[in-house]
A and B are shown apart, each in its own frame.
Chain A
Amino acid sequence: MLESVSRNLQMYYSSQKVLWKDIATYRAQFIVWIFVFMLSTISSVITITIIYDVSSGVAGWSYYQMLVVSSLANMMIGLVLYNISPQRLARTMRNGQFDQRILKPYNPVVTMLSLYGTKTSIGSVISGALVFGYAAYMTGISVIGLFEMLMIFALGVVSLTMFLLMITLLSYVLFNSAGYMQWVANIASRAAQYPLTIYGLPGILLFTVGLPVGLAAFYPSALVFGKISPISIVLVIGIEAFTVAVYYYACKWLTKKYRSGGG
Chain B
Amino acid sequence: MKSKYFSVFKVFSKNLMAYRAEIALDAVFYMLSSLVMVVVWIAVYHFSDLTSISGITISSMTVYLFAIGSIGFLSWPGVANVLESDMRSGEIASSLIRPIKYPYATFVREIPENLIFSFAGTLPIFIIIYIIAGLHLTAMQVVMLIIEMVLAYLIINFIGFIIGSLAIYITDIYGILSGVTWAFSLLGGGIMPLLLYPKLFYGILMLTPFPFLYYVPGGTFTGIIPAAQLPGLVAEGAIWALVLLLIAVVVWKRVSRDINAVGV
Residue of A at shortest CB range from B195?
A54
In the complex the two chains form, is B32's CB within 8 Å of A187's CB?
A: yes
Chain A 47-67 against B: per-residue CB contact (8 Å), 1 yes, 0 no? 100110111111100000000
B104 CB, nearest partner CB in chain A, Å: 29
CA distance A56 to B49 in the complex (A): 9
| A13 on interface, CB distance cutoff 8 Å | no
Which residue of B25, B47, B191, B197 contacts A58 across the interface (Cβ within 8 Å)?
Answer: B47
In the complex the two chains form, is A58's CB within 8 Å of B39's CB?
A: no
Query: Using Cβ atoms and an 8 Å threshold, which residues of chain B touch A57?
Result: 44, 47-48
B48 CB, nearest partner CB in chain A, Å: 4
Task: Given A36-B179, A55-B50, A180-B25, answer yes or no on A43-B186 (Cβ-Cβ < 8 Å).
Answer: yes
In the complex the two chains form, is B47's CB within 8 Å of A59's CB?
A: yes
| B259 on interface, CB distance cutoff 8 Å | no
In the complex the two chains form, is A36's CB within 8 Å of B39's CB?
A: no
| A39 on interface, CB distance cutoff 8 Å | yes
Interface centre among B45, B182, B192 (most CB of A within 10 A): B182
| B133 on interface, CB distance cutoff 8 Å | no
Which residue of B33, B40, B54, B185 contacts A54 across the interface (Cβ within 8 Å)?
Answer: B54
CA distance A36 to B50 in the complex (A): 35
B214 CB, nearest partner CB in chain A, Å: 13
In the complex the two chains form, is B36's CB within 8 Å of A55's CB?
A: no
Q: Contact residue range for chain B?
A: 35 or more
Q: Which of B141-149, B170-178, B203-211 contacts A (4 or more CB under 8 A)?
A: B170-178
CA distance A190 to B185 in the complex (A): 14
CA distance A54 to B41 in the complex (A): 11
A111 CB, nearest partner CB in chain B, Å: 25
| Interface of A, helix, strand, loop or mixed by DSSP | helix
In the complex the two chains form, is A55's CB within 8 Å of B192's CB?
A: no
Task: Given A36-B182, A39-B179, answer yes or no on A58-B43 (Cβ-Cβ < 8 Å).
Answer: yes
| B53 on interface, CB distance cutoff 8 Å | yes
Which residue of A42, A51, A55, A198 contacts B39 across the interface (Cβ within 8 Å)?
Answer: A198
In the complex the two chains form, is A28's CB within 8 Å of B47's CB?
A: no
Task: Given A26-B172, A29-B175, A42-B186, answer yes or no on A203-B39 (Cβ-Cβ < 8 Å).
Answer: yes
| Interface of B, helix, strand, loop or mixed by DSSP | helix
Q: Which of B159-216 contact A (CB under 8 A)?
A: 170-172, 175-176, 178-179, 182-183, 185-186, 191-192, 196-198
Which residue of A33, A50, A180, A194 contacts B196 across the interface (Cβ within 8 Å)?
Answer: A50
B5 CB, nearest partner CB in chain A, Å: 30
A186 CB, nearest partner CB in chain B, Å: 7
Query: Using Cβ atoms and an 8 Å threshold, which residues of chain A touch B198?
Result: 53
Residue of B at shortest CB range from A40?
B182
Which residue of B25, B40, B183, B197 contacts A198 across the interface (Cβ within 8 Å)?
Answer: B40
In the complex the two chains form, is A194's CB within 8 Å of B40's CB?
A: yes
| A183 on interface, CB distance cutoff 8 Å | yes
| B22 on interface, CB distance cutoff 8 Å | yes
Chain B 49-66 against A: per-residue CB contact (8 Å), 1 yes, 0 no? 110011000000000000
Interface centre among B33, B43, B171, B196 (most CB of A within 10 A): B43
| B29 on interface, CB distance cutoff 8 Å | yes
| B105 on interface, CB distance cutoff 8 Å | no
| B37 on interface, CB distance cutoff 8 Å | yes
Task: Given A36-B182, A55-B53, A57-B48, answer yes or no on A50-B192 (Cβ-Cβ < 8 Å).
Answer: yes
Query: Using Cβ atoms and an 8 Å threshold, which residues of chain B touch A47?
Result: 191-192
Residue of B at shortest CB range from A195?
B43
CA distance A32 to B58 in the complex (A): 37
| A258 on interface, CB distance cutoff 8 Å | no
A249 CB, nearest partner CB in chain B, Å: 28
A127 CB, nearest partner CB in chain B, Å: 13
26 CB-based A-B contacts, threshold 8 Å: A29-B170, A32-B175, A32-B176, A35-B175, A36-B178, A39-B182, A43-B182, A46-B186, A50-B192, A53-B198, A54-B54, A55-B47, A55-B50, A56-B44, A56-B47, A56-B48, A57-B44, A57-B48, A58-B43, A183-B29, A187-B29, A187-B36, A190-B33, A194-B40, A198-B40, A203-B39
* Chain A residues within CB distance 8 Å of chain B: 26, 28-29, 32-33, 35-36, 39-40, 42-43, 46-47, 50-51, 53-59, 120, 180, 183, 186-187, 190-191, 194, 198-199, 203
List 20 additional contacts besides A58-B43, A199-B39; criterion CB under 8 Å.
A26-B171, A26-B172, A35-B175, A36-B178, A39-B182, A40-B182, A46-B191, A53-B198, A54-B196, A55-B47, A57-B44, A58-B47, A180-B22, A180-B25, A187-B29, A187-B36, A190-B36, A190-B37, A194-B43, A198-B39
